């Protein structure tokens, strides 16, 4: 799911009749008339028709790169978490308890004096280890020590790792009943390979500023610029990362699961990817007992391994040192943290200032002790009545999907049977998990932020490694209850809908059902439909990668989704930058199928009765406006450009435009040929 966007209007305007003879409603829960732009025809620009005044009058705070329903609802969740942390601190719980860990971690981030006094000193021994590297075997070991379980390939969570490679522990493509290690491409600091290889003035400027940033970080960490020019060393680091970027496959290519299913035995690495001492690498990463891996991007792994041998060790040492400093800047010193923000915030995203320190501390606590905080959050902020209402919507959506699959005429009986089996075994988690993760053994101190984060990274890594070969826990969540998001887990054939997403603009218990089905209903439908998108369709009902389609069925499916990819290829947020319809294809499929199923589910929930007219809006108008409002937001240019290049989700405006493929939208807003969003019936994409 992408970052959904918020509905609050920041200004009030007088409203008259809207274009296309749709009356402006009085304010109702979920739809604020004052946010709408009455000067626009829905058929020309539905997104701004629903959100134009809000967008025009909303200012992005200096410490943000965007404003959206996702971000504002997250702010609400974070305020609640801050209160829970404060309560934990006041409780004076015994050492080692979860409440004490929460309080101590928060205190360590807030203690800037301790960070400035001890952070750099804590870093120095690790920098000394890097400086002592003398040969290829020691280099391989140093690279292996950086291995962390910091990627999640299927859910786009921290998919980009600055370490040379990333490891992901998940159910196996070929054995989903047991956890398997995946090896992933990595090694880049900038957001995507495009930042290194695109020959445009903007990207060149970013790279020049990146070199300056590298040199400044090394200098602030105590590197002597007189012994060798730091700028030249920084340029060498950029050159190395650029070489790595040329080996990476693109995000669009990465979506092809069949190409990712490459099983390598441990002995295969030296033959398939020479240049790196793999035995030393795996030993340093505590993976010597592992006999096989799934290699997601074999050409990238081979290309990066070759660079280990062909690049001078001195450059690799600087690379490792810089990455270590960059990753831990907030725990080393205030000046390093500020310099990192000056580049990663101001240059890359356009943010003008950092968030207040207490808000950043909440993010740290959430990241390290997510389940400990989530246990407290779920108990206080997700009432049973809300959960019951959502469960009813989920049931209706599953029924709608079932009926759509039953009614498909182009799918062979065997393919349809497996599709229905997938839907029937889908596990849906709402609010929070049945079981909570334990943090026993994780040592956190109130005055040692660097140590806390270092120990946590190793604690989490070994927690993940310990799962290898064990039976898959299909009830496990990959998100915490306080997360404003939702996720499909294709290897588990499951869905997670955390408690924190059930708030406006996605869910309002007081809103008309049509609005809620247009907002949270489409999110639920989106995640269900990922089960059958371009990626999810590669997995069977047990989460195993296998082809359960006939050739004819697959050809029909591929033709349908290709039409959707081409539709999105035409969208251009900037004159020099179009969307990549294949990069965003899986999410666009899920949007289209999710809206369609949610519309069906809402209609079915009426049990044959007419939809209530509320505030002069018909039920269909409420539904589609609820969806468009949930997608609204405003981004800085740099942040939006980064999203287009690096995100598998389309920007909210173009996600809202998905409705032009639904016949019901045309009738609801009297959209006619000649309107800019009009598609002839034959050009409207229908997949499920």
What domains appear along the chain, each with residue ranges and CATH number?
Answer: 19-74+372-433+477-683 (3.40.390.10), 111-349 (1.10.1380.10)
Selected residue with higher pLDDT from 688 and 79 = 79
At 26 the pLDDT is: 55
Q: Is the dihedral of CA 586, 587, 591, 594 positive or negative?
A: positive
Which pLDDT tens digit goes with each residue over 19-61? 334 444 556 788 999 999 989 999 999 999 999 999 999 999 9
Burial 449-487 (b: 16+ CB within 10 A, else e): bbbbbbbbbebbbebbbebbeeebebebbbbbbbbbbbb
At 2 the pLDDT is: 38
* Cβ-based burial of 584 (10 A; exposed 0-12, middle 13-18, buried ≥19): buried
pLDDT above 60: residue 158: no
Of 17-26, 445-454, 474-483, 657-666, least confident by mean pLDDT is 17-26
At 383 the pLDDT is: 87
Q: 263-265 and 292-295 as β-strands: parallel, antiparallel, unpaired? A: antiparallel
What is the rounded CA–CA span in Å between residue 466 and residue 15? 61
What is the rounded CA–CA span in Å between residue 154 and residue 487? 10
At 321 the pLDDT is: 97
SS3 annotation, 240-297: HHHHHHHHCCCHHHHCCHHHHCCEEECCHHHHHCCCCCHHHHHHHCCCCCCCEEEECC
What is the rounded CA–CA span in Å between residue 25 and residue 169? 50
* The pair of three-digit structure tokens given for residue 345, joined into one six-digit string: 């915030």
pLDDT above 60: residue 14: no
What is the rounded CA–CA span in Å between residue 524 and residue 535? 18
Preceding omega of 505 cis (within 30 degrees of 0): yes
At 534 the pLDDT is: 82
The residue to which tokens 């740290």 are assigned = 364
Indicate the pLDDT class of residue 228, thresholds 50, 70 and 90: low
At 535 the pLDDT is: 84
Mean pLDDT throughout 519-541?
92
Q: Which DSSP category does 675 fall into?
A: B
pTM of the complete model? 0.90
Mean pLDDT throughout 89-106?
93
Burial 609-633 (b: 16+ CB within 10 A, else e): eebeebbebbbbbbbbbbbbbbbbb
Which pLDDT tens digit goes with each residue over 387-411? 898 899 999 999 999 999 999 999 9
Q: End-to-end CA distance of the chain: give it in Å, rounded.
A: 19
What is the rounded CA–CA span in Å between residue 58 and residue 55? 5
What three-state secondary structure class fits 495?
Answer: strand
Strand partners, 165: 185
What is the rounded CA–CA span in Å between residue 500 and residue 390? 13
Mean pLDDT throughout 636-665?
96
3-state helix, strand, coil in the chain (%, to 5): 55, 10, 35
Mean pLDDT throughout 644-669?
96
Q: What angle do CA 672, 674, 677 make, to 5 degrees?
A: 75
Which pLDDT tens digit goes with each residue over 568-625? 999 999 999 999 999 999 999 999 999 999 999 999 999 999 999 998 899 999 999 9
Indicate the pLDDT class of residue 92, thresholds 50, 70 and 90: confident
- Tell me the CB-side half-sphere exposure of residue 36, using CA atoms within 13 A: 27
Indicate the pLDDT class of residue 224, thresholds 50, 70 and 90: confident
Q: Which DSSP category does 633 fall into?
A: E
pLDDT above 50: residue 6: no
SS3 annotation, 513-548: HHHHHHHHHHHHHHHHHHHHCCCHHHECCCCCECCC
What does residue 295 show for φ and ψ, rounded to 5 degrees?
-100, 110
What is the rounded CA–CA span in Å between residue 489 and residue 166? 19
Around Cβ 177, how many Cβ atoms within 10 Å?
A: 13
At 405 the pLDDT is: 93
At 231 the pLDDT is: 94
Most confident among 121-135, 155-169, 489-503 (mean pLDDT)? 121-135
Mean pLDDT throughout 667-683?
98
At 536 the pLDDT is: 87
At 192 the pLDDT is: 92
* The pair of three-digit structure tokens given for residue 675, joined into one six-digit string: 């309107």
What is the rounded CA–CA span in Å between residue 82 and residue 361? 9
For the chain, give the mean pLDDT. 92
């Amino acid at each position: 799911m992408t970052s959904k966007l918020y509905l609050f209007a920041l200004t009030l305007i007088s409203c008259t009749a809207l274009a296309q003879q749709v009356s402006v409603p009085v304010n109702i829960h979920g739809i604020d008339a004052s946010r709408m732009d009455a000067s626009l025809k829905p058929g020309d620009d539905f997104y701004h028709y629903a959100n134009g005044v809000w967008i025009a009058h909303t200012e992005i705070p200096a410490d943000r790169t965007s404003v959206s329903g996702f971000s504002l609802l997250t702010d609400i969740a974070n305020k609640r978490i801050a209160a829970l942390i404060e309560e934990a601190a006041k409780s004076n719980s015994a050492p080692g308890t979860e409440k004490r860990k929460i309080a101590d971690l928060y205190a360590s981030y807030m203690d800037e004096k301790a960070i400035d006094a001890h952070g750099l000193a804590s870093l120095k021994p690790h920098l000394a280890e890097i400086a002592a590297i003398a040969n290829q075997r020691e280099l391989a070991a140093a690279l292996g020590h950086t291995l962390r379980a910091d990627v999640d390939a299927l859910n786009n969570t921290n998919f980009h790792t600055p370490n040379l490679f990333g490891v992901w522990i998940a159910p196996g493509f070929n054995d989903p009943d047991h956890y398997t290690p995946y090896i992933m491409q990595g090694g880049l600091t900038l957001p995507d390979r495009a930042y290194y290889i695109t020959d445009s003035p903007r990207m060149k400027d970013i790279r020049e500023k990146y070199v300056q940033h590298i040199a400044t970080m090394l200098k602030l960490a105590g590197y002597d610029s007189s012994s060798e020019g730091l700028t030249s060393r920084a340029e060498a680091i950029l050159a190395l990362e650029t070489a790595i970027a040329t080996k990476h496959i693109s995000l669009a290519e990465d979506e092809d699961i069949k190409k990712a299913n490459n099983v390598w035995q441990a002995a295969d690495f030296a033959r398939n990817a020479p240049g790196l001492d793999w035995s030393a690498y795996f030993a340093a990463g505590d993976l010597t007992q592992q006999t096989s891996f799934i290699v997601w991007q074999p050409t990238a792994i081979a290309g990066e391994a070759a660079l280990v041998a062909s690049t001078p060790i001195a450059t690799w040492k600087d690379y490792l040192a810089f990455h270590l400093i960059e990753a831990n800047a907030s725990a080393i010193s205030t000046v390093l943290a500020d310099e990192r923000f000056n580049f990663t915030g101001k240059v890359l995203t356009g943010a003008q200032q950092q968030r207040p320190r207490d808000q950043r501390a909440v993010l740290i606590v959430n990241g390290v002790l997510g389940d400990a905080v989530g246990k407290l959050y779920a108990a206080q902020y997700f009432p049973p009545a809300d959960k019951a209402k959502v469960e009813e919507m989920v049931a209706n959506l599953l029924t709608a999907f079932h009926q759509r699959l039953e009614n498909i005429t182009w799918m062979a009986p065997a393919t349809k049977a497996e599709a229905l089996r997938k839907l029937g075994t889908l596990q849906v988690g709402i609010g929070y998990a049945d079981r909570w993760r334990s943090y026993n053994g994780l040592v956190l101190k109130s005055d040692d932020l660097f140590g806390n984060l270092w120990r946590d990274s190793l604690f989490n890594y070994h927690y993940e490694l310990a799962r290898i070969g064990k039976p898959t826990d299909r009830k496990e969540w990959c998100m915490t209850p306080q997360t404003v998001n939702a996720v499909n887990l294709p290897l588990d054939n499951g869905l997670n809908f955390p408690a924190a997403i059930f708030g406006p603009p996605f869910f309002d218990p007081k809103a008309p059902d049509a609005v809620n089905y247009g907002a949270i209903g489409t999110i639920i439908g989106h995640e269900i439909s990922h089960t059958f998108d371009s990626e999810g369709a590669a997995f069977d009902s047990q989460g195993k990668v296998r082809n359960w389609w006939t050739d004819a069925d697959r050809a029909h499916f591929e033709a349908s989704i290709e039409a959707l990819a081409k539709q999105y290829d035409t969208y251009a947020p900037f004159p020099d930058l179009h969307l990549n319809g294949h990069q965003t294809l899986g999410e666009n499929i899920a949007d289209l199928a999710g809206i369609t199923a949610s519309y069906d589910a809402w209609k079915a929930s009426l049990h044959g009765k007419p939809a209530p007219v509320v505030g002069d809006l018909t039920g269909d108008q409420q539904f589609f406006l609820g969806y468009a409002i949930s997608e609204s937001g405003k981004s800085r240019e740099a942040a939006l450009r980064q999203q287009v290049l690096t995100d598998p989700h389309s920007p909210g405006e173009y996600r809202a435009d998905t409705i032009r493929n639904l016949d019901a939208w045309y009738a609801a807003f009297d959209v006619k040929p000649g309107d800019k969003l009009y598609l002839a019936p034959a050009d409207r994409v229908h997949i499920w």
